[in-house]
């Protein structure tokens, strides 16, 4: 099974570069399943809109994963239960679901979204134990994990913890692609962060002057999505052949 996974779509720039390149990505990599992380895809970089959700579905995306900004758009609670949107598994109680099962021909894929706790939200359930429980109760041919976490150590730890029990652990959230795409010792495909899809010359999606001033003076205006040249970051994974290849496109 071949999976195309696209990293955090950020604002209008991320939406535009993804939709304008998706057909070419399909033709080039011939994925069986397409997964995107869209928790930053709204205009303000918080959550996903219903309109963009429908655009992704129409474009051929199979599953949408989220993260700490999953509830950035209030109307998500109205349609998440009947959608292909996967919110983080380890919220104690929340609408929607923390996983989805996709069937391709006669093969099934379990897609899991989980949030890290280090430097984020200590009130979450443990992503390690929540995934353990899910793997005990839901059986599929393949398992893909989008781990949305801040600390690289927590991402690497989860990768090794799940090594040999899931087929892929791919990190999101920090918006900077890492160079450690590899096969872990027991066969799990791994990458600490796939990177973001959106402004290249902002600071992780935000107008650079806003963030620089925040570091200089301790305060700044509210975040504004940067308008620069754009980038698309993703990976193509072959779960049967055990290969993982980085994808990077710029305007």
* Count, residues in the chain: 251
**Catalytic residue, candidates 69, 148, 173, 175:** 69
User: What is the C-alpha separation between 9 and 15, in angstroms, rounded?
Assistant: 6
Q: Which long-range contacts (CB under 8 A, 24 or more apart) does 201-205 make?
A: 201/226, 201/228, 201/229, 202/226, 202/228, 204/10, 204/174, 204/175, 204/176, 205/8, 205/10, 205/11, 205/14, 205/40, 205/45, 205/175
Residue 16 has a CB neighbour count (10 Å cut-off) of 15
Catalytic residue check, 69 = yes
- Written as six digits, the tokens of 243 are 């290969």
- Are 251 and 17 contacting, i.e. CB atoms less than 8 angstroms apart? yes
User: What is the C-alpha separation between 96 and 238, in angstroms, rounded?
Assistant: 28
Per residue in 106-133, is it b (16+ CB within 10 Å) or e — as a string? eebbbbbbbbbbeebeeebbebeebbee
Catalytic residues: 69
């Amino acid at each position: 099974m071949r999976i195309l996974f696209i990293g955090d779509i950020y604002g209008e720039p991320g939406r535009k570069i993804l939709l304008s390149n998706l057909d070419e990505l399909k033709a080039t990599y011939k994925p069986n399943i397409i997964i995107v992380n869209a928790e930053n895809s709204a205009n303000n970089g918080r959550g996903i809109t219903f309109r963009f959700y429908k655009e992704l579905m129409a474009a051929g995306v199979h599953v949408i994963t989220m993260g700490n900004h999953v509830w950035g758009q209030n109307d998500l609670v109205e349609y998440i239960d009947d959608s292909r949107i996967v919110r983080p598994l380890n919220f104690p109680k929340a609408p929607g679901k923390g996983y989805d099962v996709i069937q391709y021909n006669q093969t099934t894929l379990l897609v899991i979204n989980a949030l890290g706790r280090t430097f984020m939200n200590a009130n979450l359930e443990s992503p390690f134990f929540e995934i353990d429980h899910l793997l005990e109760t839901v059986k599929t041919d393949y398992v893909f994990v989008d781990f949305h976490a801040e600390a690289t150590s927590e991402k690497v730890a989860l990768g090794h913890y799940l090594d040999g029990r899931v087929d892929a652990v791919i990190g999101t959230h920090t918006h900077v692609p890492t160079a450690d795409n590899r096969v872990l010792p027991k066969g799990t495909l791994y990458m600490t962060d796939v990177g973001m899809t959106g402004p290249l010359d902002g600071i992780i999606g935000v107008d650079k002057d806003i963030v620089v001033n925040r570091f200089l003076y301790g305060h700044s205006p509210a975040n504004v999505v940067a308008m620069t040249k754009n980038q698309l970051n993703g990976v193509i994974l072959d779960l049967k052949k055990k290969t993982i290849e980085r994808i990077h496109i710029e305007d």
